[in-house]
Amino acid sequence: MIVNLKYAAASAISQSARSTHIGLATNTLRENVYFSGVLGRPVLLREALGALRSVVVSDLKFHPKDRPRYRAWLEEQDRRFLSNLSIRSERARQELEGLHEELDGLNRLREKRREAFHQARLRYFQFALENEYEKFFILDPVITVHPDEIFFEAFSRDESSYARLGVPHSHFADAGPFACGTTNIDFSAALADGLERIRGYRAARLALGPMGMAVASQTESGFEVHREKKVELPASWLRGFLQVQSAMTLALTRVAMAPVDLYNICRYLRLHRTRKSPRALRYEMQPGKRVRAVFEPSGHVIELAGIHEGPPSSIRTWGRDRLKVLSRLLPWTRRVGVFLAGFGLPSFYVLDMEGATFTLGLSGWTDNDWTGGARFDLLTRRLAGTAADLTAVYEALRERRVATGSELADATGLGVEACRSAASHLCQLGRAIYDLSRRAYRHRDLFFDPFTAQEAAAAVKPAVAEKGPEAKAAREMFEAERVRVIARRPVTTGFKLSGSARGASGPRVRPLLHVDHEGRIIEASCTCAQFKSHALTKGPCEHVLGLRLAHMQRLEEEDSKGGLEPA
């Protein structure tokens, strides 16, 4: 997929003795989005955008080192060894060794003469890295202007980390008119360097608009400046961005953490580098007790400030080194919320920074990116809906920009469950996001093209005939009435179900399921072979999905009758 980005100017920063002007150039190929205001906390924005930039350029996957000079040296040693085997005279051997020493000295002199050339080449590669490399391999962040805040979204190069920075309008003084919408911003290395020079004693104004901050050059047709990028967007990047939103709408376990707790975690990661596996960060939770963060394999324990009020559990997370990016945000952080999906599943860290929020979403582990085979969308709500319902929810959310499921139900006249299901579906389509800090849905079009009735009609088809093999098998199993709900017990967190299911082939198995009031999977188990091998790290099996379909059918019937209202 090719993404065209065109900017009327380059984003840049201009500074004077008393003020700083931050000009962010927007993509002129998208809707006209603009905003302007004086920052109340310029240093906070500097650190937050710096952390966002660190996520954009991060690539923590293992890459084997390329040692061409070392391989060339090894080949030369092998050649010399083989040539010496045929020499029988000691005198000839000594003469040959002298010639080799003389040749080595000449090579050293040649490298010394070429030192200026190597330095010039290094400067060129550095220039290409900052000005050309990012045009083709780094996708600019997505920025959205809403009536209550503006927020930035970015995805890392290794497709394992997602970052969202939300800055409320209350952080700006003298804010001018603004236009709501979504666009890309030119976030170059030069802009990142300029952000590092922002100081708190200088007033800073943020200007978001098409023109940015570049100096125009005169042409025959007048003054014209534009900067174009043509990025080849991998299909995995796009799927990963959508899987993030699917994971956010899961039934997540929340852990409260004080800023000093996160500081202690980052400090331990900085001072102790573990080379043995497994290198996990395990959260141990017991009712009425403080949550314990345990580093494996060392066993070092950090007791967190939050008291766990739910059932006992122990959740392992991997790829903990990615948390270091949050270190620079800790001086402004007031509260930290950790949202855990389960063993080997994604985790989210939400930092509240005096009203501004920074969300870091991490995949199960660094090498297992958001597209590593997992289908988190299968764990979310799967109520059957129509294209008209999906369009109605989209239009209501686009009009309000941010809304909860109940507010969408009041606006559309649909049931709360149907609206939440449609909103979750829009998140998977790239037309909305779920804001963990506010527990609400926000309108955000990831794509350039508007949402049409044809797209809505195509989007609801998978709810009837699933594309994935597990979801398709679950749908067939459900329609063939090979799924039975044995027990369905309401609990404070939702429903606990036990059932019996049988696929097209194989024996009958016993799935167990725990879903919340919105139909999202909290816990699941099954006696089938797939669950025994992968648990939920590759998504739920067809038997769990089939049992959830049977439960969602009852939930939809109860919602239409008004018999059950979500807690």
Secondary structure of residue 250 in the 3-state scheme: coil
How many alpha carbons lie under 13 Å from residue 91 in its C-beta half-sphere? Answer: 0
pLDDT at residue 127, rounded to an integer: 65
Secondary structure of residue 87 in the 3-state scheme: coil
Peptide bond into 566 cis (omega under 30): no
Confidence band (pLDDT; 50, 70, 90) for 119? confident
Residue with tokens 């559990």: 313
Residue 434 β-bridge partners: 441
Q: For residue 559, is pLDDT > 90?
A: no
| Angle CA 264–270–271, to nearest 5 | 90
SS (H, E, C) 317-341: ECCHHHHHHHHHHHHHCCEEEEEEC
Distance CA(452)–CA(42), nearest Å, equals 40
pLDDT at residue 382, rounded to an integer: 54
Q: For residue 131, is pLDDT > 70?
A: no
DSSP-assigned states of every residue in 343-401: TTS-EEEEEEETTEEEEEEE-SSSSS-TTSS--GGGGS------HHHHHHHHHHHHHHS
**Is-contact 233 157, C-beta < 8 A?**
no
Between the ranges 138-142, 159-163, 211-215, 355-359, where is the mean pLDDT highest?
355-359
Provide the token pair at 110: 């040649």
Confidence band (pLDDT; 50, 70, 90) for 462? low
- Identify the residue with better confidence: 326 or 127: 326
Distance CA(26)–CA(6), nearest Å, equals 8
pLDDT digits 0-9 by tens, 246-268 = 778 777 888 999 999 999 999 99
Mean pLDDT for 475-487 is 88
DSSP-assigned states of every residue in 452-488: -HHHHHHHHGGGTS-SSHHHHHHHHHHHTT-EEEEEE
Secondary structure of residue 136 in the 3-state scheme: helix
Listed in sequence order, the residues at least 6 apart from 3 whose beta carbon sits closer than 8 Å to its beta carbon are 139, 230, 231, 232, 233
Residue with tokens 């399921």: 513
pLDDT at residue 512, rounded to an integer: 92
Distance CA(351)–CA(357), nearest Å, equals 5
- Identify the residue with better confidence: 96 or 441: 441
For residue 120, is it left (φ>0), alpha (ψ between -120 and 50) or beta? alpha
Mean pLDDT (the chain) is 79
Among 197, 128, 152, 139, which residue's Cα sits nearest to residue 33? 152
**Is-contact 186 10, C-beta < 8 A?**
yes
Distance CA(315)–CA(343), nearest Å, equals 5
206-220, 309-323, 383-397, 501-515: the lowest-pLDDT one: 206-220
Confidence band (pLDDT; 50, 70, 90) for 351? very high
Burial of 287 (0-12, 13-18, 19+ CB in 10 A): exposed
Residue with tokens 């590669």: 125
Fold (topology level) of 469-561: Nuclear Transport Factor 2; Chain: A, (3.10.450)
Q: For residue 464, is pLDDT > 50?
A: no
Name the phi and psi angles at 487, rounded to 5.
-140, 140
Residue with tokens 């009327």: 8
Distance CA(186)–CA(228), nearest Å, equals 10
Confidence band (pLDDT; 50, 70, 90) for 463? very low
Distance CA(391)–CA(456), nearest Å, equals 6
What share of the chain in percent tops pLDDT 90? 21
Distance CA(352)–CA(333), nearest Å, equals 6
Distance CA(360)–CA(368), nearest Å, equals 16
| Domain extent listing, the chain | 72-135, 236-367, 381-463, 469-561
- Identify the residue with better confidence: 240 or 59: 59
Confidence band (pLDDT; 50, 70, 90) for 223? very low
Q: For residue 491, is pLDDT > 70?
A: yes
- Identify the residue with better confidence: 557 or 545: 545
Mean pLDDT for 172-200 is 80
pLDDT digits 0-9 by tens, 286-321 = 999 999 999 998 999 999 998 888 888 899 888 899
Distance CA(332)–CA(329), nearest Å, equals 6
**Is-contact 143 185, C-beta < 8 A?**
yes
SS (H, E, C) 156-222: CCCCCEEEEEEEEHHHEECCCCCECEEEEECCCHHHHHHHCCCCCCCEEEEEEECCCCCCCEEECCE
Distance CA(105)–CA(473), nearest Å, equals 71
Distance of CA 367 to the CA centre of its chain: 14
How would you label 360-373 residue by residue, b for 16+ Cβ within 10 Å and e otherwise?
Answer: bbbbbbbebbbbbe
Helix or strand (DSSP H, E) at 261: helix 259-271
Number of continuous H segments (helices) and E segments (strands) in the chain? 15, 28
Q: For residue 68, is pLDDT > 50?
A: yes
Residue with tokens 């004077």: 16
**Is-contact 363 319, C-beta < 8 A?**
yes
pLDDT at residue 220, rounded to an integer: 42
Q: How far apart are the first and last CA of the chain?
A: 42
pLDDT at residue 501, rounded to an integer: 92
**Is-contact 165 149, C-beta < 8 A?**
no
Between the ranges 31-35, 202-206, 339-343, 354-358, where is the mean pLDDT highest?
354-358
Helices 387-400 and 416-428, interaxial angle, to 10°? 80
pLDDT at residue 565, rounded to an integer: 41
Mean pLDDT for 49-62 is 83
pLDDT at residue 34, rounded to an integer: 80
Selected from 3.70.10.10, 3.30.360.10, 3.40.50.300, 1.10.10.10, the CATH number assigned to the domain covering 236-367 reads 3.70.10.10
Q: Which CATH architecture group holds 381-463? A: Orthogonal Bundle (1.10)
Burial of 18 (0-12, 13-18, 19+ CB in 10 A): exposed
pLDDT at residue 567, rounded to an integer: 35
